[in-house]
Amino acid sequence: MSEEVQIDQEVYDRLIAEGKSERIARAKAKAASVRKGKVAAGQELGPKSPEENQQALAAFRERSGGGAATAGAGGGAATATKEVPASRLSPEERAARVSASLGGNGNGGSIGVPASSAHTHRLLALVPPAGIQQVQSKQQDKVYTWPHLLIVEFVALLAMTAVVLVTSFFLDAPLGALANPNLTPNPSKAPWYFLGLQELLRYFHPMVAGVTIPGVGLIVLGAAAYVDKNPSAKPENRKFANMAMTFFLVMWTVFVFAGSFFRGPGFNWVWPWVDGLFFEL
């Protein structure tokens, strides 16, 4: 059993010529050579018909002289009560057959399960092809995460820490007067990332500007990944997508800038270089 299976060179060459991978070609060529060997030995290939199965079963019972039914004496008592259809092997018969095929070595001839056990089957998984992860990995140009990536990350981390530290050293976070619900500042502005929306409030009903546009916007943004069916990631192949995104990003930036710097008291239009800034972070 353990001798290396020969490769059917002819099949192998043909599969390679067809562009199959070396691994697949080797496996198929091995299978072909096994099949050839069986045919040469007069064995039949493929699954047996039900009649043939019945015959084989009867032949086996004949050979074991019915003794198999009483084989595993220990576990037999427990399982003997179970009805086994005549067309199938009873657990004891199965154990006897396994033991016979393994040459009846000391441990009852079974692999993993004692021959006398009622559990004479081993669990071998039947995996549908769809359940197997198909790994089609090409050779890629890769480098070790340590040190190459981790060093880059570390430098980025230091740079970002420096930026935050220096900014915090020279710029103070605002802290205005104590909150007073009765004293509305003029203008009252949302944080900068919502000022685009606040700007939209000037043009649309609040339900549209405050709820519909941001809500629909986020949903569309998320759905974009499913809507865009173009498989290419190259900029030259996706001019429309890039243009559309750029359009929205620019528009959004314009609205944020307008709301931030060009809106003053009463949220009316101002020119920052004339009227000054009405903006706090």
Partner 1 sequence: MSRMSDFLSDVKKRREELKAKRPSSFGDVKTSVQDNVIWKSIFRPGSIYRKGYRDTSRDRALAAMNNVLYHLHPVKVKRHGLKLTYTYCLGGLSFFLFILLTITGIFLMFFYRPTAGAGSELAYLDMRNLSASVTFGHLVRNMHRWGAHLMVFTVFLHMARVFYHGAYKPPREFNWVVGVILLTLTLLLSFTGYLLPWDQLAIWAVTVGTEMMGFTPVFGKQVQFVLLGGVEIGPNTLLRWYVLHVLFVPFVTVIFLAVHFWRIRKDGGISGPL
Residues 171-190 that bind partner 1 (CB under 8 A): 171-181, 183-185, 188-190
Give me the phi and psi of 97, to 5 degrees please: -70, -45
Note whether 110 and 99 are within 8 A (CB).
Answer: yes
Measured CA to CA, the distance from residue 215 to residue 248 in angstroms comes to 15
Label residues 221-235 b or e (16+ Cβ within 10 Å = b): eeeeeeeeeeeeeee
Note whether 63 and 70 are within 8 A (CB).
Answer: no
197 binds partner 1 (CB under 8 A): yes
167 binds partner 1 (CB under 8 A): yes
Residue 225, both tokens? 């990944």
Measured CA to CA, the distance from residue 229 to residue 241 in angstroms comes to 11
State the burial class of residue 187 (Cβ atoms within 10 Å of its Cβ: 0-12, 13-18, 19+): middle
Measured CA to CA, the distance from residue 189 to residue 179 in angstroms comes to 14
Closer residue to partner 1 in complex, CB, 31/221: 221
Query: Closest distance between partner 1 and the C-beta of residue 21, in Å?
Result: 19
Closer residue to partner 1 in complex, CB, 81/180: 180
280 binds partner 1 (CB under 8 A): yes
Query: Closest distance between partner 1 and the C-beta of residue 141, in Å?
Result: 5
Closer residue to partner 1 in complex, CB, 81/232: 232
Binders of partner 1: how many residues, by CB under 8 A? 73
Which span (17-25, 51-59, 89-97, 201-209) binds partner 1, by CB under 8 A?
Answer: 201-209
Which span (43-51, 66-74, 108-116, 206-214) binds partner 1, by CB under 8 A?
Answer: 206-214
From the list 8, 209, 263, 270, which residue makes contact with partner 1 (rule: CB under 8 A)? 209
Closer residue to partner 1 in complex, CB, 5/149: 149
